[in-house]
Chains A and B, each alone.
Chain A
């Protein structure tokens, strides 16, 4: 895999802004293949925005774009997110 690729830990800051909660420990179920991983452990790519991808099937789990004031987030790739109360 690309040496440039980071993991979901690098998205901790922006996800905390979106969800007002720590998200890297949250377990996400990939809607593509059903695999479950903590968001901190999945692949992160930085394009025009941030993309988290399932490390098993490469499908997009979530996308985040921000203009500094608005945040857009696409969560369709996550079937479920499990957070600890």
Chain B
């Protein structure tokens, strides 16, 4: 277990026979209680394919069925059931040439982080910009690692927008992602090869619509909706 923020933890799993995965894929986690009661949820894989262990970065939802178990109860040596990796639509394609835009809201950053890690471990120089929307600086997951990735001179940039409150001296964006913000952050329409948008459903819908409104090709915009979670 690795704490990330106050409500977010990364669970590191050893999976027998794990054959690797593509960045952007997820697993379905199924928990069974002793009396047979079951609950199942999907979690995006946060780790890159080369990592020794499978990492799931989970946000604890207060009224959640599965997330509180994963963040609060799970201990080393415990077993959970996972199915996957699954997904072939919302996956990083390292062979595509042209700029990449990653837009994440709240816990939507998780599959995008897998993509950023995969990109770095491949030594890719594909121009990639991550736009990450979080409520506060304390809610930004993978902060230190993102700063390191952005510092490397390989074409990876991170732009944050903090929608609820900002630290003193903050000179970045401080509002919800809108069309104007995307116009400033997204590459020009003839340069964007792939966009990946992930987060709560209303966030994804708004961003995808705005990108199309700016003239980006809908087929180049891939979306993954996480439902009405925070962010």
Contact = CB atoms under 8 A, between A and B. Distances in A.
Chain A partners chain B: yes
Interface of A: 1-10, 12-13, 16, 22-25, 38-41
A39 B88 CA distance: 10
Interface string B184-209: 00000000000000001110010000
A25 B88 contact: yes
Interface stretch (B51-59, B170-178, B222-230): B222-230
Given A1-B205, A3-B200, A3-B201, A9 B89 contact: yes
B88 A24 contact: yes
Q: Would you call the interface of chain B mostly helix, strand, loop, or mixed?
A: mixed
Interface of B: 26, 28, 42, 83-84, 86-91, 200-202, 205, 222-228
Contacts, number: 66
A8 B89 contact: yes
Contacts of A7: 223-225
B89 A3 contact: no
A23 B89 CA distance: 8
Best-surrounded residue of B86, B200, B223, B227 (most CB of chain A within 10 A): B86
Best-surrounded residue of A4, A12, A25 (most CB of chain B within 10 A): A12
Contacts of A9: 26, 42, 87, 89-90, 224-225
Contact of A4 (B88, B205, B228): B228
19 contacts: A3-B227, A4-B228, A5-B201, A5-B225, A6-B201, A6-B225, A6-B227, A7-B224, A9-B87, A10-B225, A12-B26, A13-B84, A24-B86, A24-B88, A24-B90, A25-B91, A39-B89, A40-B223, A41-B222
A80 B201 CA distance: 27
Chain A to chain B: the 3 pairs with minimum beta-carbon distance, closest first: A40-B89, A22-B88, A12-B86
